[in-house]
């Protein structure tokens, strides 16, 4: 029976990692899609430049004098247009703009349901969610009907066991938001320049 309790506790703690994994996956997919769009634009521009270069080489063999100068001028204007269209894409950071922790929704801040800036934040979130899953597990045990134990004793026992998890969750929440705020303070002057 002891092994079953251990497995149930371990399972509940691992279930607490689900929000962390979902947040990380959504953040990765969003970043990946922005990077893919940026790479497609750059690839398309490179193909256009290659085509224009090959076309100019072919025309140089057939054209001479003033008409060749006009073709080169036309290609130069086309290349300038390509550069102008790529400048915003190349200068745009592939990272999302910084949204400060204090500007986020209360629910997102309370349950740390937003992506952190550094790996340190991911670690604190993982520990926070593990503590929350421990609390949920003890509440489930307290509310599970068992005629052998009165409800009041189960509630008291579960609360006594859940309080350390709650305290640890509060500490990990504080560390996670502190890590986010520290990184936001470090990144803010760079983004304002």
Region 140-169: mean pLDDT is: 85
Query: Is there a domain that residue 192 lies in?
Result: no
Provide the domain count of the chain: 1
Compute how many other C-beta atoms are within 10 angstroms of the C-beta atom of residue 180: 26
**What's the domain range around 165?**
2-186
Is 24 within 8 Å of 122 (Cβ atoms)? Answer: yes
113-145 residue pLDDT tens? 888 878 888 889 988 988 998 898 888 888 887
More confident residue, 147 or 178: 178
pTM of this prediction? 0.53
- Sign, Cα dihedral of 128, 7, 143, 148: negative
Query: Is there a domain that residue 11 lies in?
Result: yes
Residue 191 has pLDDT above 50, yes or no: no
Q: Binning pLDDT at 50, 70 and 90, where does residue 177 land?
A: very high
User: CA 52 to CA 165: how far, in whole Å?
Assistant: 65
Query: Is there a domain that residue 191 lies in?
Result: no
């Amino acid at each position: 029976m002891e092994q079953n309790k251990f497995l149930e506790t371990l399972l509940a703690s691992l279930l607490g990692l689900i929000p962390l994994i979902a947040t990380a996956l959504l953040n990765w997919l969003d970043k990946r899609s922005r990077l893919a769009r940026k790479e497609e634009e750059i690839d398309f521009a490179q193909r256009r430049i290659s085509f224009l270069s090959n076309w100019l080489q072919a025309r140089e063999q057939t054209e001479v004098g003033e008409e060749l100068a006009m073709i080169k001028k036309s290609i130069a204007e086309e290349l300038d247009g390509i550069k102008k269209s790529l400048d915003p894409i190349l200068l745009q950071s592939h990272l999302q703009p910084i949204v400060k922790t204090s500007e986020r929704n209360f629910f997102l801040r309370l349950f740390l349901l937003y992506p952190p800036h550094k790996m340190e934040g991911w670690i604190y979130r993982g520990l926070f969610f593990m503590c929350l899953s421990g609390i949920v597990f003890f509440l489930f045990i307290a509310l599970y009907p068992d005629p052998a134990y009165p409800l009041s004793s189960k509630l008291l026992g579960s609360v006594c066991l859940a309080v350390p998890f709650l305290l640890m969750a509060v500490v990990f929440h504080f560390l996670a938001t502190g890590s986010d705020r520290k990184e936001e303070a470090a990144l803010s002057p760079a983004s304002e320049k």
